[in-house]
């Protein structure tokens, strides 16, 4: 009984910790200094700012999906692009799915993250 209670408390603390504080650099504008080598072609016809996407992922998603996308409390995302399109991923980020709450990322961060994850095949 004690192990179960401790597990639930620890799990709740992780979930609550993941839900807050995603606005650390919200007022900073990314520098547009040409080709920095961080953009990759996306499967949707545009390019993905990998550095920005990784920053959004680290701030909002890594606590559940693992820093290397391998999963943990949330599912493995290493090959999510082979199962879902960028639009489907964006919908899950906005609205949630299963035990994942919606709104873990907002604004243009949603599309940056969805395009980056859609490349994971």
Global pTM? 0.62
Alpha-carbon dihedral sign for residues 110, 115, 120, 121 = positive
Residue ranges of the domains in the chain? 40-121
Res 48: pLDDT: 84
In this predicted structure, the answer to whether residue 37 has a pLDDT above a threshold of 50 is no
Query: By the 8 A CB rule, do 121 and 79 touch?
Result: yes
More confident residue, 105 or 36: 105
- Residue that is written with structure tokens 């910790």 in the block: 17
Res 42: pLDDT: 46
Res 111: pLDDT: 94
Res 21: pLDDT: 52
What is the average pLDDT across 33-50? 55
In this predicted structure, the answer to whether residue 31 has a pLDDT above a threshold of 50 is no
- Over residues 42-99, the pLDDT tens digits come to 444 457 889 999 999 999 999 999 999 998 899 999 999 999 999 999 999 999 999 9
Q: Does domain 40-121 have CATH number 2.40.110.10?
A: no
Tokens of 66: 């693992």
Query: By the 8 A CB rule, do 117 and 80 touch?
Result: yes
Please choose, from the candidates 60, 41, 76, the residue with its C-alpha nearest in 3D space to the C-alpha of residue 109: 60
Which residues, 6+ apart, have CB-to-CB distance to 66 below 8 Å?
A: 72, 74, 76
Q: How confident is the model at residue 34 (pLDDT cuts 50, 70, 90)?
A: very low
What 8-state DSSP symbol labels residue 121? -
Q: How confident is the model at residue 40 (pLDDT cuts 50, 70, 90)?
A: very low
Distances, alpha carbon 20 to alpha carbons 23, 91, 120, in Å: 8, 20, 26
Alpha-carbon dihedral sign for residues 46, 49, 54, 59 = negative
């Amino acid at each position: 009984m004690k192990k179960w209670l401790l597990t639930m408390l620890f799990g709740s603390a992780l979930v609550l910790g993941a839900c807050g504080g995603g606005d650390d650099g919200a007022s900073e504008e990314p520098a547009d200094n040409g080709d920095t080598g961080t953009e990759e072609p996306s499967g949707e016809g545009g390019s993905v700012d990998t550095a920005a996407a990784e920053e959004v992922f680290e701030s909002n998603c890594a606590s559940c999906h693992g820093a290397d996308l391998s999963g943990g409390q949330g599912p493995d995302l290493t090959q999510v692009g082979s199962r879902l399109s960028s639009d489907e991923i964006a919908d899950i980020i906005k609205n949630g799915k299963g035990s994942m709450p919606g709104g873990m990322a907002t604004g243009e961060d949603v599309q940056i993250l969805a395009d980056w994850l859609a490349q994971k095949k």
